[in-house]
Amino acid sequence: MRNEPEDLAVGDYELEERQALRRVAGLSTELEDITEVEYRQLRLERVVLVGVWAGGTALDAENSLQELKLLAETAGSQVLEGLIQRRDRPDPATYIGSGKAIELRDIVAASGADTVICDGELTPGQLRQLEEIVKVKVIDRTALILDIFAQHAKSREGKAQVELAQLQYLLPRLRGWGGNLSRQVGGRAAGGVGIGGRGPGETKIELDRRRIRERMAKLRRQIKEMSTARQTMRHRRQAREVPAVAIAGYTNAGKSSLLNRLTGAGVLVEDALFATLDPTVRRARTPEGRLFTLADTVGFVRHLPHQLVEAFRSTLEEVADADLILHVVDGSHADPESQIAAVREVLAEIEGARDIPEIVVVNKADAADPVVLTRLTMKERHSVVVSARTGAGIGELMSMIERELPRLDHEVRVLVPYDRGDLIARAHSEGEVLSLEHTGDGTVLHARVFAGLYAELDRVAKPVETV
For 312, half-sphere exposure in the C-beta direction (CA atoms, 13 angstrom radius) is 30
Question: For residue 444, which phi and psi values (nearest 5 degrees)?
Answer: -85, 115
Q: What domains are there in the chain, each with its CATH number?
A: 43-148 (3.40.50.11060), 241-404 (3.40.50.300), 410-466 (3.30.70)
Each residue of 234-274: pLDDT tens digit? 666 556 567 889 888 888 888 888 888 888 766 555 555 66
Residues 338, 22: Cα–Cα separation, whole Å: 33
Q: Which residues touch 190 (CB under 8 Å, ≥6 apart)?
A: 197, 198
Name the β-bridge partners of 115: 47, 137
- Please give the pLDDT value at position 117: 93
H, E, C per residue of 45-109? CEEEEEEEECCCCHHHHHHHHHHHHHHHHHCCCEEEEEEEEECCCCECCCECCHHHHHHHHHHHH
- Please give the pLDDT value at position 202: 58
Which one, of 145, 163, 79, lies nearest residue 299 by Cα?
145
pTM confidence score: 0.70
If 0-12 CB within 10 Å is exposed, 13-18 middle and 19+ buried, where does residue 436 land? middle
- Please give the pLDDT value at position 17: 63
- Please give the pLDDT value at position 255: 85
Each residue of 118-150: pLDDT tens digit? 998 888 889 999 999 999 999 999 889 888 888
Backbone CA torsion sign across 388, 391, 397, 398? positive
Q: Are 81 and 93 in contact (CB under 8 A)?
A: no
Each residue of 47-92: pLDDT tens digit? 999 998 887 788 888 888 988 998 888 888 889 988 888 888 899 9
pLDDT above 80: residue 179: no
Q: What's the mean per-residue pLDDT of the chain? A: 78
- Please give the pLDDT value at position 41: 41
Q: Which residues touch 288 (CB under 8 Å, ≥6 apart)?
A: 402, 432
Gyration radius from the chain CA atoms: 28
Which one, of 315, 270, 273, lies nearest residue 148 by Cα?
273
pLDDT above 50: residue 397: yes
CA dihedral angle for residue 283, residue 316, residue 75, residue 92, rounded to 10 degrees = -160
Residues 11, 346: Cα–Cα separation, whole Å: 27
- Please give the pLDDT value at position 39: 38
Over pLDDT 70: what percentage of the chain?
77
Give the N- to C-terminal CA distance of the chain in Å, as an integer. Answer: 65
Q: Are 430 and 412 in contact (CB under 8 A)?
A: no
Maximum distance among all alpha carbons in the chain? 103
* Eight-state DSSP code of residue 280: E
Residues 108, 185: Cα–Cα separation, whole Å: 43
Task: Please tell me which residue, 405 or 327, carries the higher pLDDT value.
Answer: 327
Each residue of 214-245: pLDDT tens digit? 999 999 998 888 877 767 766 665 565 678 89
Each residue of 152-162: pLDDT tens digit? 777 788 888 88
Q: Are 276 and 229 in contact (CB under 8 A)?
A: no
**If you average pLDDT over residues 425-434, what whole number do you get?**
79
Question: For residue 126, which phi and psi values (nearest 5 degrees)?
Answer: -65, -45
Which one, of 287, 280, 277, lies nearest residue 264 by Cα?
280
Q: Are 281 and 360 in contact (CB under 8 A)?
A: no
Which one, of 257, 294, 302, 293, lies nearest residue 275 by Cα?
257
**If you average pLDDT over residues 186-193, what whole number do you get?**
49
Report CA-CA distances (Å) from 150 to 163, 318, 367, 424, 465. Answer: 7, 21, 31, 46, 62
